[in-house]
Structure 1
Amino acid sequence: MSETQNRLICLIPHYNNPDALVRSLASIGPDEQCDVLVVDDGSARAPIAEAPARAAFRAQGVLRFLYLPQNRGIEHALNSGLNWILARGYTRVARLDCGDTNRPDRFARQMAFLDKHPDVALVGGAASMIDPQTRAEQFVLRHPTDHAAIVRTMRRNSAFIHPAVMFNADALATTGLYPLDAPAAEDYALFWQFVRHFQTANLPEVVIDYELDPGSISHSKRDTQLRSRLQLQWRHRAGGGLAAYAGMLRTLAILLLPYRLIFKLKARLRNKAQP
């Protein structure tokens, strides 16, 4: 690691969405000590505009771009970024997606948590799910904060919000990179490896604003994601007892229902649960 390099780097994949990238970069506060790597996954229709991106980035670090020659999907983009990061000796990796935005001091809070809890290899947090047009909050998504409850939740679905996580880079030597055999559920697959081999946690507070647009998720992608989830639940069923099979039945039920209906039901239930 060079003398000027931060311990932390934020990995942001990009594909034909330069305005959202600028919004995400601008949300990283000026006091945050982090570098950022943006991996462009072969954008042709709307490539990155580097000047606005650099102007938006105000953190105490360096913004870098990695351009892939062709579009191969987010799993390949993320793994290309991780290989770049591992070759340069960063100790922590945070995630953020184009359009999603950090809450103040998000990175500092997660860094402090991992420093205080050296047994924890990955930490996430809660997210405010917002309408991408109005920026209005639709509901807050929270996951369990302690490892035992996280493992139980993983039987049903991911216990982490992907762009809200931060993890130790050296843990990847054990977990491996994002698996390529779980289309549209690469994050769930990687998180299973973390909970199997390490302690994990979630911060109880909201750390990001997450753009959630039910109209943007295609039916084909949703089906692919659910089928991948079901495969992963079956793969990790050992030791889960009835909860493992209940999780698989839940995924099958969701697969049979329209996404918009599921989205509305979840939003209604979570809004009722808000204090």
Structure 2
Amino acid sequence: MSLFRPFVPVIAIAASTSLAWGHEFWIDPEDYTLAPGDTLTAAIRVGENFKGSSYAYIRDNFRRFDLAQGGDVAPVEGRIGDRPALSTTIDEDGLAIVVHVTRDYDLTYSSYESFVNFVTHKDAEWVIDAHAEAGQEGVAPKEIYSRHAKSLVAVGEGAGQDHAFGLVTEIVALENPYTGDMGDGIDVQVLYQSEPRGDAQVEIFDRDPDGEVTVSTVTTDAEGVATVPVTAGHSYLVDAVVLRRPGDDVAEETGAAWESLWASLTFAVPE
């Protein structure tokens, strides 16, 4: 028997099929702590500083949308236009993990300066040099991008452990924020192609109970691990971005010079 029972609203709400680029992408649960039998409701958001628009459930816009708990993994079912994108009843106690991977999107930078500002913000200045070495200095490039998001929700006691789901890039919580000792922060590991991503910038968005957001960064060690400082009663979005050259076939088909892969993880720390 499935652990997850979709909640189907009476009215489906239409929404745009596009996602804004250059902003964070995250899964935003309405409540990070639930009782067994409660409905897990979560929005798919795009925005800045942990604030953004909610996007609808549109099947063509994602490669993967799953809900995992214990040893069970099930696809998130919905109707086109459902917003929030996730609404399902969870009957079992334990840590629930939402996984969402978008399709590829593409864009052309509005200016060379906006390209430089973005890669600098993401601590990837090497891209500027590589762009110049390819004879493209001063040229605003075309890019493809995709999002690879996860969220941790406690059901009942919330016991359980996050793990890798085989995403091309992802952030794994090495501790359970709902059951572990968070006094010294929470350790996370950034993976790329299932391998630790060392010396990677992790951006942290810390939202307090009043909705105020503080932004900071940490850098992973050689094992791809970084410690995120946390405070009880706050919720968190952490993200890390891979910049790379697209494969030859993709570059030829799309005309893109660069590809960005966005990993994010959301969770809360209980009082």
TM-score of Structure 1 vs Structure 2, range by shorter chain: under 0.3
TM-score, normalising length from structure 2? 0.25
The structure in which a higher percent of residues are helix is: 1
TM-score, normalising length from structure 1? 0.25
The structure in which a higher percent of residues are strand is: 2
